[in-house]
Amino acid sequence: MSSAPSATGITLSNVSKSFGRGADAPTISDFSLDVRPGEFVSVLGPSGCGKTTLLRLIDGLLAPDSGTIGIGGRAPRPGRHIGFVFQSFRLIPWANTLRNVAFPLELAGVGRAEREAVARDWLERVGLSRFAEAYPAELSGGMKQRVALARAFAGDPDILLLDEPFASLDAQTREIMQLELLRLWEERQLTALFVTHSVEEAVLLADRVVVMGPAPASLREVVPVDLPRPRRDAVRSSARFMELRTYLTGVIRTLITEDPNSPFFRRG
């Protein structure tokens, strides 16, 4: 698999989306962002601000009410060119690990021998070769998420969308999976958009952190993460990492406490 950066970027221009509550109460309002080819961008924001909706718009699962979205200059469409990793793993319970990883290739019509060879290669990359015949019920949470990552990369996508993929894992497993994702991304360097509630996770992974405000969400701030790559666990203790984490924590706290719809709203 090529290690060259993806040639596909993401462009959102004045995008708005609502869900039957009227144009005066959109979930996302006038949102604009350019994600450069091969860039890793984390998205932070209060709960319910539309982060998942943003990913679904980019994936083509939803259409914007207004504005435009471009994926390499073309309109979004679901397909193998976009890998999607979910919080809930979304593995097929009646399929073994090998078939779960090969599933995007199966949907694309790739022959069985070829897709299984690709799936075995990715299972080896995530350290699960000996679990090729195991079923999801036999795997731990961390192993299931490794399968989900392998499945997303196996389709050889240009873009990777990740919707809080590590939120359901325990703290130690989550930190291991963050480094695992970094390793895989550094190898492939495809364009990645990662939604998270964790400031530390956002800083560790990203080239830039995008902050979304409360619904109706719009882009509030973009913070460059000027930490060297490749990144390893030791970066968490660096002075610059702690500066960025402290700053972004303050930004998110301010957004929550100044939102009239938040239970933590501070009057005056």
Strands 10-17 and 82-86: unpaired
Q: Is the confidence at residue 226, as pLDDT, over 80? A: yes
Measured distance CA(127)–CA(212) in Å, rounded = 35
If we measure between CA atoms, which residue out of 32, 4, 20 comes closest to residue 217? 32
**HSE-up of 18 (CA within 13 Å, CB side)?**
11
Q: Is residue 191 part of a domain?
A: no
Measured distance CA(80)–CA(75) in Å, rounded = 15
Q: Is residue 117 part of a domain?
A: no
Check which CATH number belongs to the domain holding 44 and give it: 3.40.50.300
- Going by pLDDT thresholds of 50, 70 and 90, the confidence category of residue 72 is confident
Domain that holds residue 268: 9-81+160-166+196-268
Domain count of the fold of the chain = 1
Q: Is the confidence at residue 48, as pLDDT, over 90? A: no
If we measure between CA atoms, which residue out of 46, 43, 20 comes closest to residue 256? 46
Measured distance CA(259)–CA(87) in Å, rounded = 26
- Going by pLDDT thresholds of 50, 70 and 90, the confidence category of residue 164 is very high
- Write down the mean pLDDT value for the chain: 89
Measured distance CA(186)–CA(189) in Å, rounded = 5
Cβ proximity of 8 and 81 under 8 Å: yes
Cα dist from 130 to 124, 139, 186, 208, 247, whole Å: 8, 12, 24, 37, 43
Q: Is residue 148 part of a domain?
A: no
Helix ranges restricted to H, the chain: 51-59, 97-107, 112-125, 141-154, 171-188, 199-205, 239-257
* Tokens read off for 116: 């299984």
Across the chain, where does the E strand assignment appear?
10-17, 28-35, 40-44, 66-71, 82-86, 159-163, 191-195, 208-212, 219-224
Provide the pLDDT for residue 260. 54
**Average pLDDT of the segment spanning 140-148:** 93
Q: Is the confidence at residue 24, as pLDDT, over 50? A: no
Task: Give yes or no for a cis peptide into 224 (omega within 30° of 0).
Answer: no
Residue % of the chain over a pLDDT of 70: 91
Instruction: Determine which of 17-31, 35-49, 130-144 has the lowest per-residue pLDDT on average.
Output: 17-31
Instruction: Determine which of 38-42, 162-166, 214-218, 227-231 has the lowest per-residue pLDDT on average.
Output: 214-218
The 3-state DSSP class for residue 9 equals coil
Q: Is residue 104 part of a domain?
A: no
Q: Is residue 133 part of a domain?
A: no
pTM passes above 0.85: yes
Strands 191-195 and 159-163: parallel
* Tokens read off for 26: 């959109």
Measured distance CA(111)–CA(130) in Å, rounded = 23
The 3-state DSSP class for residue 17 equals strand
Q: Is residue 125 part of a domain?
A: no
Q: Is residue 92 part of a domain?
A: no
Give residue 224's identity as a one-letter amino acid code. Answer: P
Whats the size of the chain, residue-wise? 268
Q: Is the confidence at residue 169, as pLDDT, over 60? A: yes
Residue % of the chain over a pLDDT of 90: 70
Provide the pLDDT for residue 57. 94
Q: Is residue 264 part of a domain?
A: yes
